[in-house]
Amino acid sequence: MEEQAIITAPAANKYNLDEEQEKKEILRHYRALLRALRPKIKKGDKELVRRAFEIAADAHKTMRRKSGEPYIFHPISVAMICVEEIGLGVRSTICALLHDTVEDTDITLEDVEREFGHEISRIVDGLTKISNVIDTNTSQQAENFKKILLTLTDDPRVILIKLADRLHNMRTLDSMKREKQLKISSETIWVYAPLAHRMGLYNIKTELEDLAMKYMEPETYKDIAQKLAETKRERTRYINEFIRPVKDQLIKGGFDFEIYGRPKSIHSIWNKMKKKGVAFEEVYDLFAIRIILDSPQAKEKEDCWKVYSIITDEYTPSPERLRDWLSNPKSNGYEALHTTVMGPEGKWVEVQIRSRRMNEIAEKGLAAHYKYKEGNSDEDRFDKWFGQIREVLSTQDTDSVDFLQDFKISFLAEEIYVYTPKGDVKMLPVGSTALDFAFSIHSAIGVKCIGAKINHKLVSISHVLRSGDQVEIITSNKQKPNEDWLNFVVTAKAKSKIKDALKEVRRTIAEEGKYILQRKLEGIGAAFNQINIDTLVGFYKYNSQLDLFYQIAIKANELKELKEFNVLGDRLEQPKPQKPLHEVPAVESAPHHYNKKDSELIIFGESSDRIMYTLAKCCNPIPGDNVFGFVSTGKGLIIHRTSCPNAASLLANYGHRVVKTKWAKNKEISFLTGLKIIGMDDVGVINKITSIISGDLKINISAIAIESNEGLFEGSIKVFVYDKEELEELVSRLKQLNGIHSVDRFDVG
Beta-carbon contacts of 72 under 8 Å, excluding residues fewer than 6 positions away, are 26, 56, 57, 60, 61
Report phi then psi at 619, rounded to 5: -140, -5
**Which of these is catalytic: 103, 125, 380, 512?**
103
**Which of these is catalytic: 3, 84, 104, 113?**
104
Buried b (16+ CB within 10 A) or exposed e, 642-664: bbbeebbbbbbbbbeebbbbebe
Say whether 210 is catalytic: no
The DSSP 8-state label assigned to residue 229 in this structure reads H
Question: Using CA atoms, how far apart are residues 542 and 536, in angstroms rounded to an integer?
Answer: 9
Asked if 206 contacts 268 with a C-beta cutoff of 8 angstroms, the reply is: yes
Q: At what angle do helices 45-59 and 90-98 cross, to 10 degrees?
A: 10
The DSSP 8-state label assigned to residue 617 in this structure reads T
Beta-carbon contacts of 531 under 8 Å, excluding residues fewer than 6 positions away, are 571, 572
Q: Residue 10, preceding bond cis, omega within 30 degrees?
A: yes
Question: Using CA atoms, how far apart are residues 542 and 551, in angstroms rounded to an integer?
Answer: 10
Question: Using CA atoms, how far apart are residues 182 and 643, in angstroms rounded to an integer?
Answer: 11
Say whether 682 is catalytic: no
Question: Using CA atoms, how far apart are residues 221 and 300, in angstroms rounded to an integer?
Answer: 38
The CA-based angle 569-572-574, given to 5 degrees, is 135
Question: Using CA atoms, how far apart are residues 56 and 61, in angstroms rounded to an integer?
Answer: 8
Provide the 3-class DSSP secondary structure of residue 624: coil
Which residue type is seen at 509?
I
Which residue type is seen at 427?
M
Asked if 493 contacts 410 with a C-beta cutoff of 8 angstroms, the reply is: yes
HSE-CB at 676 with a 13 A cutoff on CA atoms is: 10
Active site positions, annotated: 103-104
